[in-house]
Structure 1
Amino acid sequence: AQQASTTSSTWQPAAEASTGREAKHSNPQLHLHTDDHHQTSCHRSLHPRYRHPLPPSPLPSFFNQILSIIMDHRPQAWGRPRDDVYGAYNASYMNPNGPNQATQAPIVTGTSVIAIKFNEGVVIAADNLASYGSLARFTDVKRLRKFADSTVVGFGGDVSDMQFLDRHLQSLDIEESYDLSTDQPPRLNAANLHKYLSKLMYKRRSDFDPLWNHLLVAGLDDAGKPFLAAADLLGTTFTSPSLATGFGSALAQPIMRRYVPDEEAAAKLTKEKATEVIKECMKVLFYRDARSLDSYSIAIVTKDGVDLKENEKLEKQSWKFAERIRGYGTQVV
């Protein structure tokens, strides 16, 4: 009898259940749904809280009261404080008529862009994947843009900023076509366009609103020679016989430098060999880069124009090299 009386005094929820429908917890904040779901003794008897009483909480009572006041787990309140404690939520910044805001934390991004010079032009390639964080979300995003039928711009980084730059380049191309007659050479060739884009990136960086992209510009310069240069979100520029952005700077660049370590080697490289090297690099990136895809776009820029193919597939893939890899998963050395 003494044990039974001790148990009834220790297990407070059970005692509440035995007193009828009027029993309430001492803290009303923990009973947000009592009036809706537990008005009858039938509901109380079916609720797991009263069928299987819980032992007393090891936390101090005042701490439980603080949690019950601050925390609100109702779905309509997720991600913001309680209205009854901190006041009504200010949603004015969500006004659709407000100013447009650009992200400062890229969410949907594209990975590597790679390019290599050869004796008559430049070959540039990028896969068609846009990743939502680590999720391979969009598999048909073309990241190579043709400009004035003489230049190709490859975009790595944030896709929304890429779309902004794409619209800006389209407007620039229209203005250029109106200003020039048909027999005049374009003023914005690859070299001039790269300088323009680098100034634009630097200006946005100086405004503390950078475009989160790493660009490769491939084409011909004023003298008709192959041109390849890069510009990043800080406006920093770089030129080389072979260039890569993203993970490609670590995986693809060493392969390309075997064939074009300097400008002299690039002047001797043929278009067929350059295309073969680029395809091999895209295959290596698909093997090693978790943010890459086996569908890619490739463009060849020469004095005859731009040959752009946007739905190429990797061929002759082989995963035999994985047999030599040890130390992952359940493999035993």
Structure 2
Amino acid sequence: MEHFPEAWGRPRNDIYGPYDHSYLQTTGPKAHTQSPAVTGTSVIGVKFNGGVAIASDNLASYGSLARFTDVKRLRVFGDSAIVGFGGDVSDMQHIDRLLNSIDIRENYSSDGNLLNAKNLHTYLSKVFYKRRSEFNPLWNHILVAGFDGDGKPFLSSADLLGTTFSAPHLATGFGAHLAIPILRRLFPEDTPLENISKEQAVEALRECIKVLWYRDARSLDKFSIATVTKDGIEVKEDEKVEAQSWAFAETIRGYGAQVN
């Protein structure tokens, strides 16, 4: 190996010949998403008695710019599962097309068995792990909500490394820091699922979205919220944070030019 400062670590030219830089040339654009440009932030999910509620805002940020304000990041799969996406929007669109093709294939299958939320989560986690192993990861962190094979509420996450995690309430992005403490306060770990109603879960998600709107610079006051129950999937895509006001800022003392 060369030991001169300008060539540290390179094979010696007098032994191996000069390095052929033509291997570095490409004929097309770089296709690997190694630096996501347009991204979505938090997705929040909560189990309740008889189903799962999930929510996310409708913002896709171009770096720090709130560029796209009508991006729906909740995707319905079949009649019993919802996938919430955080992370790169282009990779989300790729996974969405993948889910559409799977949905079509499942509906045309002759055995009559459809993927439930647990099956779907297992499949997507394998997709993430395969792409990660190819050094071409899908830069997303997803939540899958629905029911497992036994008809019990199911909520689990998967990230770009293929790592999975399940809990009664989950969040991605900044929601993992701001929303999870709120949900743990409202629904302690020892709270039986039977004691959490659908209305309580939905109200808790609305409160989390409100806190994220005030505290997370990459969030928006317009959001989507969905519930999965035995009766089907209910999705509301253009909800607004209620009672939003920055009037409280006038009562804060110690900053700016305030003298009182």
Report the TM-score, using the length of structure 1 for normalisation: 0.67
Unpaired segments ≥5 residues, structure 2: 1-24
C-alpha displacement at 1:265, in angstroms?
3.2
2:105 paired with 1:105? no
In structure 2, the residue matched to 1:294 is: 221
User: Which one-letter code corresponds to 1:176 in the other structure?
Assistant: E
Aligned length: 236
Q: Cα distance 1:157–1:216, how it changes in 2: closer, same or farther (>3 A)?
A: same
Q: Which has the higher strand share?
A: 2
In structure 1, distance between residues paired with 2:134 and 2:244: 45
User: Which one-letter code corresponds to 2:186 in the other structure?
Assistant: Y
Q: Is the 8 A contact 2:56 2:74 kept in 1?
A: yes
2:109 paired with 1:179? yes
Report the TM-score, using the length of structure 2 for normalisation: 0.85
In structure 2, the residue matched to 1:261 is: 188
Q: Give the alignment of 1:79-228 within 5 angstroms.
A: 93=26, 98=28, 101-180=31-110, 184-186=112-114, 188-228=115-155
Q: Cα distance 1:222–1:324, how it changes in 2: closer, same or farther (>3 A)?
A: farther
In structure 1, distance between residues paired with 2:251 and 2:53: 32
User: Which one-letter code corresponds to 2:214 in the other structure?
Assistant: Y
Q: Which structure has the bigger radius of gyration? A: 1
Q: Is the 8 A contact 1:260 1:266 kept in 2?
A: no
SS at match of 1:246: coil
In structure 2, distance between residues paired with 1:211 and 1:153: 15
In structure 2, distance between residues paired with 1:106 and 1:206: 18
* RMSD of aligned residue pairs (Cα, Å): 1.9
Q: Cα distance 1:119–1:107, how it changes in 2: closer, same or farther (>3 A)?
A: same
Unpaired segments ≥5 residues, structure 1: 1-91
C-alpha displacement at 1:322, in angstroms?
3.1
In structure 2, distance between residues paired with 1:327 and 1:210: 46
In structure 2, distance between residues paired with 1:263 and 1:150: 27
In structure 2, distance between residues paired with 1:168 and 1:199: 13
In structure 1, the residue matched to 2:244 is: 317
Q: Cα distance 1:176–1:289, how it changes in 2: closer, same or farther (>3 A)?
A: same
In structure 1, distance between residues paired with 2:128 and 2:82: 17
SS at match of 2:118: helix
**Share of identical aligned residues, percent?**
66
Q: Is the 8 A contact 1:127 1:294 kept in 2?
A: yes
C-alpha displacement at 1:261, in angstroms?
2.4
User: Which one-letter code corresponds to 1:178 in the other structure?
Assistant: Y
C-alpha displacement at 1:149, in angstroms?
1.4
SS at match of 1:252: helix
C-alpha displacement at 1:330, in angstroms?
4.3
2:208 paired with 1:281? yes
SS at match of 2:108: helix
Greater Cα offset, 300-309 or 172-181: 172-181
Q: Is the 8 A contact 2:33 2:138 kept in 1?
A: no
Q: Which has the higher helix share?
A: 1
C-alpha displacement at 1:310, in angstroms?
1.1
C-alpha displacement at 1:283, in angstroms?
0.6
User: Which one-letter code corresponds to 2:176 in the other structure?
Assistant: S
Higher relative contact order (CA 8 A, sep 6+): 2
C-alpha displacement at 1:318, in angstroms?
3.3
